[in-house]
A and B are shown apart, each in its own frame.
Chain A
Amino acid sequence: MTLSTIKITQRDHEIAKLSAIAVALSLIEFFFPSPIPGVKPGIANIIILYTIIRFDLKMAIWVSLIRVFVTSILLGSFLSPTFFLSLCGALFSLFSLIILKNLNHKYFSLVSLSLIASLAHILGQFFVVRIWIIPHDGIFYLLPIFISSAFIFGLVNALVTNKLLQLNPKK
């Protein structure tokens, strides 16, 4: 009987590398102040976007989920409300990317992808907040602010991702 060994591929290296950067970005973002503590614009989306464009969807899903889990373990917030916020935001965002990744390149660039992923990310977090964390409608007052921030960060993320893509041309 032979023990099956886990073969570590080049792909795995990539995933690890990207996840690490995504986690780092999440950690930085942790220190941003926010009107509703825990709800963040999601600059780690830069990495997710990069991954989905440069590589493929499956890898992006890995990176995204690893990012959520590792960040929360590092911050000591695993399974806390913040964790679920983060997870839901990431899931909504991924979901929107799955639907949209096949957008026609003639009319849509990564800017749209980024904007919509950003919006989905914020809405995912809002969903958890409203259902569970602050269960009354007062928080909807803050929605316009978060939508604007999703817009700004969506654009910024797109620009940064674009730059990254240029700096790392496909081999």
Chain B
Amino acid sequence: MIKKILKSFKLIKSGDWFVIFMFGILTVTSAKFLWGLPQGKYLEIYKNNEILATYSLNQELKKQIHGPKGVTEIIIDKGKVRFSSAPCPKKYCIHQGWINKANQIIVCIPNKISISIVGSKKKYDSINY
């Protein structure tokens, strides 16, 4: 088995090694660039006290969530997210605008929906808001 593999190495010429090397670089950079941006961040949507869904922030997505007061809509846009429509009267959640960093959260209290960003590096365990 090993002999067979070694034999096949004879096939590979210097130019091939160059191609193989470039392939390796391509794989690593694409992984670093695509997976490292934005730091593997995900959005967690909470309805009342449970996680409803987790989404990657690295996409464009409109999501509607049904809460006790009505339909809340959030928009994920390439690394950031915001509330775009909510049934609460004061719309504080919408006024918060875009968030994009780990541990940031926006809450719609009347409709009991909150969104929070989870990242790979957490700066603190909980926030005193």
Contacts and interface: CB of A to CB of B under 8 A. Distances in A.
Q: Are any A and B Cβ atoms less than 8 Å apart in their complex?
A: yes
Interface of A: 103-104, 106-112, 115-116, 119, 136-138, 140-141, 143-144, 147-148, 151, 154, 158-159, 162
Interface in B11-59: 11-16, 19-20, 23-24, 26-27, 30-31, 34-35, 56, 58-59
A109 B16 contact: yes
A111 B35 CA distance: 29
B23 A141 contact: no
A124 to B, nearest CB: 16
B60 A112 contact: no
Contacts of A144: 27, 30-31, 34-35
Given A159-B8, A162-B8, A151 B27 contact: yes
Contacts of A108: 13, 15-16, 19
Interface in B63-108: 78
B13 A143 contact: no
Nearest to B12: A111
B61 interface: yes
> Which DSSP category, helix, strand, loop or mixed, fits chain B's interface?
helix
Contacts of B11: 109-111, 158-159, 162
Nearest to A139: B59
A162 B10 CA distance: 12
B67 to A, nearest CB: 25
A21 B38 CA distance: 44
Given A136-B59, A147-B30, A112 B8 contact: no
Given A106-B13, A141-B35, A159-B8, A111 B58 contact: no
A115 B58 contact: no
Contacts of B56: 138, 141
B13 A140 contact: no
Nearest to A137: B59
B101 to A, nearest CB: 19
Given A107-B13, A111-B11, A137 B78 contact: yes
B34 to A, nearest CB: 5
B58 to A, nearest CB: 6
Nearest to A105: B13
Contacts of A112: 15-16, 19
